[in-house]
Amino acid sequence: MAESPLSIEQTGVTSPATRKRPNAILRLLRYTLLKIITLGAAVVIGVYLTILVANMGGYVDEIMKGQIQEQVMLTVSMDPKMKVLSQAERTKIIENRIQLEVERLNLDEPFIKRSFGFLWDALTLNLGRSLKLSSDTGSRQVRTIILERLPSTLLLMATANLLLFFTSLFISLYLSRHYGSFLDKLVIGLSPASSAPPWFYGVFLLLIFAAVLNVLPFGGMVSAPPPEKLGPYLLDLGKHLILPVTAWMLSYIFSSVYSWRTFFLIFSMEDYVELARAKGLSSRAIERRYILRPTLPNIITSFALMLITLWQGAILTETIFNWPGLGEMLYSAIQNFDSPVIIGSTVIFAYLLAITVFSLDFIYALVDPRVRVGSGGPKS
């Protein structure tokens, strides 16, 4: 999540000398097309792999057939009207009903053929109906289930991630100005703390604030029953947010600050920054014009990648804090072999990621005049 900005490659950096060639537009088009094709292919293959795994290579079909058989046998044997029929007739009725149900669900077709059907449905965002999970309103539509969980995940993840992102950016800028100070050394010393995931800090936080001090709730999003007025409701929501957000921050902030700080330090040692300093510019102006400007593409990349990870929710953090979000939904979908929900969640993630990666190239060109889309350099 908090990936080191140092590892992010700048795409297509080229010297200004090669600018303004006549075939620039043609090359741009070719590059765009190539990028769309490769990313599209990655999405298709990725989603197909997910379909294969989520259906256990067709084994989920067998499970479903077994369930249908059991269900039909049970209803027929419980039906008093069937009792008068002979054994042979009953068997025939059972077989007929099973056949009907299997055909209704297209289970008689080979899995390979069905899997391509799934793929097409997934890619066209025709998410279909879930097998077991249902939304709070009782709907079986995967779309409804996902949309219902989206706000709560966004609330948690956006609060946590935005807070993390901007706090670490500001702290790291401050530290890069005061490098070598006590605070700087403290952050460096604490950066190993980030090897522990948020749920781990969550356990400690729950222990301290929920179990021992008993000041904050053990989990969930609102108290039961939820407060009726808006004010108390929001307050209650905020109270439930504190621990998961703190756990998230504790886990990521130190390494995030550390890597941004190092990154900014590298840039602040450039000759042009030294020159600006020599000219007597204020440190604020240096920061804005000579440090933040050239690092903007990296900041944007990091921000964009952070935004799409919001989509997946945080399976573990949501599980530890009983937060009813997308991560928790995905987890229970997997537990229930609910492949449509798993595939739906994956395909949306894949699309979001592909779109982000694709548009980052163009955003780079917009914010950084040194970058031109589609020019040579190392491809990403």
Q: Quick check: 233 and 226 in contact, CB under 8 A? A: yes
Sign of CA dihedral 118, 121, 127, 129: negative
156 binds another protein (CB under 8 A): no
Q: In the structure encoding, which two tokens stand for residue 273, read together?
A: 């920054």
Based on CB atoms, which residue is closest to another protein, 107 or 193?
A: 193
- Give me the DSSP letters along 75-127: HHHH-HHHHTS-HHHHHHHHHHHHHHHHHHTTTTS-HHHHHHHHHHHHHTT--
Instruction: Name which position in 31, 174, 200, 303 contacts another protein (CB under 8 A).
Output: 200
Stretch that binds another protein, among 20-28, 121-129, 310-318, 361-369 (CB under 8 A): 310-318
Based on CB atoms, which residue is closest to another protein, 290 or 349?
A: 349
Stretch that binds another protein, among 149-157, 163-171, 221-229, 344-352 (CB under 8 A): 344-352
Instruction: Name which position in 116, 120, 218, 272 contacts another protein (CB under 8 A).
Output: 218
Instruction: Name which position in 127, 160, 243, 320 contacts another protein (CB under 8 A).
Output: 320
Sign of CA dihedral 176, 179, 182, 186: positive
Q: Quick check: 35 and 379 in contact, CB under 8 A? A: no
Instruction: Name which position in 30, 104, 185, 379 contacts another protein (CB under 8 A).
Output: 379
Rg of the Cα atoms in the chain: 27
Half-sphere exposure of 329 (CA within 13 A, CB side): 30
Which residues within the stretch 49-88 sit at the binding site for another protein (CB under 8 A)?
A: 49-50, 53-54, 56, 59
Half-sphere exposure of 140 (CA within 13 A, CB side): 8
Q: Rule CB under 8 A: which residues touch another protein? A: 3, 7, 9, 38-39, 41-43, 45-47, 49-50, 53-54, 56, 59, 179, 189, 191-192, 195-197, 199-200, 203-204, 206-207, 210-212, 218, 262, 265-266, 269, 312, 315-316, 319-320, 330-331, 334-335, 337, 342, 345-346, 349-350, 353-354, 378-380
